[in-house]
Chain A
Amino acid sequence: GQSLEQPSEVTAVEGAIVQINCTYQTSGFYGLSWYQQHDGGAPTFLSYNALDGLEETGRFSSFLSRSDSYGYLLLQELQMKDSASYFCAGLYNFNKFYFGSGTKLNVKP
């Protein structure tokens, strides 16, 4: 499968901004998705970037740079409920999605 790399853990305080990076392999790549997963739950979709640039959805934004094989998820005005694991997932040839190993976000008061 394709390899996607992201940091294992990030800690930030309530109200702050945090950026979670993801680098990916380019062969057969179509786009980059982001998912949130709370402990014991299922992953839920946050965003998808097929083109370079920034996509904004409320407090969350996602960015893609194909030339750098890199993307990030930006979370603003952090809230305690944002404490969760965040996964990047690349869409590749034949409609296959490959996931990074996840970034655990700890939001502190």
Chain B
Amino acid sequence: NAGVTQTPKFRVLKTGQSMTLLCAQDMNHEYMYWYRQDPGMGLRLIHYSVGEGTTAKGEVPDGYNVSRLKKQNFLLGLESAAPSQTSVYFCASSTPASGGTINTGELFFGEGSRLTVL
């Protein structure tokens, strides 16, 4: 059981380049999230999705786009990378309690993707 898998784990980009981070979960979770983590700061929510085909903005969405065409995958795109987007990116998933609609309150995280923009 892989849980949440992120690819790539490391990437170096030049300013202005584009890239996509892929998050895949095999737990059939409804909800998926992209966070970024910078030194001395907590995790900040970029975008999230409450189901296949739906996405919404979080706290820091500017410069990022997302898509969730399949329930198990959540893609994060950077159209024109900037040095300010140098960060560690974490994908996470969660789910309602069995048979219900209330979130269990537990986030399952991927191992992180370390992105450097030069």
Residues of A whose CB lies within 8 Å of any CB of B are 1, 4, 30-31, 33, 35, 41-45, 48-50, 87, 89, 91, 94-102
Q: Residue of A at shortest CB range from B108?
A: A45
- How many interface contacts (CB-CB < 8 Å) are there between A and B? 69
With contacts A50-B102, A99-B45 known, what are 16 further pairs, Cβ within 8 A?
A1-B45, A1-B58, A4-B42, A42-B110, A42-B112, A45-B106, A45-B107, A45-B108, A48-B104, A89-B43, A91-B105, A95-B31, A98-B45, A99-B43, A101-B41, A102-B41
B50: Cβ under 8 A from any A Cβ: yes
Contact digits for B77-118, partner A, Cβ 8 Å, 1 yes 0 no: 000000000000010101000000011111111111000000
Which residues does chain A contribute within 8 Å of B102, judged by CB atoms?
A: 30, 50
* Complex CA distance for A41 and B90, rounded to whole angstroms: 10
* Set B31, B33, B44, B108: member contacting A1, Cβ < 8 A: B44
Majority secondary structure of chain A interface residues (helix, strand, loop or mixed): strand
* Complex CA distance for A24 and B106, rounded to whole angstroms: 18
Q: Do B111 and A96 have beta carbons less than 8 Å apart?
A: no
* Complex CA distance for A100 and B31, rounded to whole angstroms: 20
Q: Do A96 and B58 have beta carbons less than 8 Å apart?
A: yes
Q: Do A50 and B48 have beta carbons less than 8 Å apart?
A: no
* Complex CA distance for A89 and B109, rounded to whole angstroms: 13
Which residues does chain B contribute within 8 Å of A45, judged by CB atoms?
A: 106-108
B59: Cβ under 8 A from any A Cβ: yes
Which residues does chain B contribute within 8 Å of A31, judged by CB atoms?
A: 103, 105
Known contacts A42-B112, A101-B41; is-contact A1 B107 (Cβ 8 Å): no
Which residues does chain B contribute within 8 Å of A43, judged by CB atoms?
A: 43, 90, 107, 109
Q: Do B90 and A42 have beta carbons less than 8 Å apart?
A: yes
Which residues does chain B contribute within 8 Å of A91, judged by CB atoms?
A: 103, 105
